[in-house]
Amino acid sequence: MDSVVEQIVAPALYVVATPIGNLSDISQRALHILRGVDLIDAEDTRHSSRLLDHYGIGTSMISLHEHNEQQRSEELIERLQQGISIALISDAGTPLISDPGYLLVSQVRKAGFRIIPIPGACAVITALSAAGLPTDHFLFVGFSPSKSGPRKKFFQRYSQQAETLVFYESPKRLQASLRGLIEVIGGDRPVAIARELTKMHETILQQPVAELLESLQADPVQFRGEIVVLVGGVSRQEVSGLDEKMEQLLALLINELPVTRAAQVVAQISDVPKRQVYQRALALQEIRDQS
């Protein structure tokens, strides 16, 4: 479809990805939509006005953030009922990905209006593409907990998964977070940080986590900016003792049987202890439920 001649649909909600840093990282289609809709919902209108001013876009904006999303969603559905077109944007990247918008999108869908995604930048995917860690399976879990106790439990919960773990981290907590990882998973697991992606001071580092912490401590500037942390997973066989075929069988069985029974069947076939298989089955079930 030629983005220049695309007709704006009304009523409809467009979910529009915006740059995560470099203002050039926006599609022609996104610019066309932002110019053409009747209203833009922005997480922070002051922040988003920089992007709109840069491209000479004068569309009216209102704010939609975590503190007003319920009330604003009701107002916007009323506006959709009046036949207007609306674009949802966040401060950076793809809306709803650790940003406001889920409540609005879910309520707009329930109200029967069309929702049109306009894809683009996302810090999670950008970091994965360049970190050098496996990307065939990954688990994104938003921000890590801010307090040390819950953060340690958070790392313990995901410490034995096979998938690459991806989360956002505050620069003020990054050092404590890496120390917590070392305490839980040891110092040899590969970990990457992607900092200030697409911006002037972009940094992407990947090392065993203990070495990574030392590298960052030698260059304190790396504890600044917006940060994505990626933690390499353990091998599936290391987690469960199962080879690939048994892992696949277990994943199929937990869709048809209680977890205990699925683990029992696979343990009998594979000669791997049932308790070990059961723990892997629980992990697979959680991954399935989150997808």
pLDDT tens for 183-205 read 998 999 999 999 999 999 999 99
In sequence order, the β-bridge partners of residue 88 are 15, 41
Using CA atoms, how far residue 263 sits from 68, 71, 249, 268, in Å, is 45, 46, 10, 9
CB-count burial class (<10 Å; 0-12, 13-18, 19+) for 205: middle
Say how far apart CA 199 and CA 228 lie, in whole Å.
14
pLDDT digits (tens, 9 = 90+) for 69-102: 999 999 999 999 999 999 999 999 999 999 999 9
pLDDT digits (tens, 9 = 90+) for 221-244: 888 899 999 999 986 555 556 778
Using an 8 Å Cβ cutoff, are 230 and 189 in contact?
no
Profile the chain (291 residues) by mean pLDDT over runs of 10 residues.
73 98 96 98 95 97 92 95 97 94 96 97 97 94 92 88 93 94 93 96 96 94 92 71 83 92 90 81 78 61
pTM equals 0.80
Q: What is the DSSP letter of 172?
A: T
